[in-house]
């Protein structure tokens, strides 16, 4: 059974702050990691993926991966109220399917 653990939150941060979202996974065969954002009542959308240890930056988003510790995180700099959503972590082991965590709800207050 592949386990993906995320703090359900809500994680509350003020506008302009850095939001840090964490994810741990059990499957050591996981090769790449996907972060999806899901607004309330909407479908998930891909915002970041990472497959190498270290950091990957895309605009205000930075994904961090440590395969030895089985840990992946998503940092959102200069958080905006429009970033308020649930963020789903999904490791991929190369067998056609993703395993999604339960997600962390982020609330950014103006």
Partner 1 sequence: NAGVTQTPKFRILKIGQSMTLQCTQDMNHNYMYWYRQDPGMGLKLIYYSVGAGITDKGEVPNGYNVSRSTTEDFPLRLELAAPSQTSVYFCAGGLAGAAYNEQFFGPGTRLTVL
Residue 48 carries which DSSP code?
Answer: E
Per CB under 8 A, which of residues 44..63 are in contact with partner 1? 44-46, 49, 51
76/92 with CB nearer partner 1: 92
Interactions with partner 1, residue window 77-106 (CB under 8 A): 88, 92, 94, 96-103
Phi/psi at 66 (nearest 5 deg)?
Answer: -135, 95
Contact 46, 98 (CB under 8 A): no
The residues that bridge with 24 in the sheet, in sequence order, are 5, 71
Instruction: Report the residue number, 18 or 46, with the smaller CB distance to partner 1.
Output: 46
Smallest gap from residue 31 Cβ to partner 1 (A): 5
Site mask, partner 1, residues 11-50, x = CB under 8 A? --------------------xx-x-------xxxxx--x-
Nearer to partner 1, 17 or 98 (CB): 98
The answer to whether 20 and 75 have CB atoms below 8 angstroms apart is yes
Query: Residue 82: what are its φ and ψ, rounded to 5°?
Result: -70, -10
Compute φ and ψ for 90, nearest 5 degrees. -145, 100
Write out the residues near partner 1 by the rule CB under 8 A.
4, 8, 31-32, 34, 42-46, 49, 51, 88, 92, 94, 96-103
């Amino acid at each position: 059974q592949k386990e993906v653990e995320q703090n359900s939150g809500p994680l509350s941060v003020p506008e302009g702050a850095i939001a840090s979202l964490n994810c741990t996974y059990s499957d050591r065969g996981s090769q790449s990691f996907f972060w999806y954002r899901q607004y309330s009542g909407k479908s998930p959308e891909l915002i970041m993926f990472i497959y190498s240890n270290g950091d990957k930056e895309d605009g205000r988003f930075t994904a961090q991966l440590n395969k030895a510790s089985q840990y992946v995180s998503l940092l959102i700099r200069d958080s905006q109220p429009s970033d308020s959503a649930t963020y789903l972590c999904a490791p991929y082991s190369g067998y056609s399917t993703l395993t999604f965590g339960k997600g962390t709800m982020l609330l950014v207050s103006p």
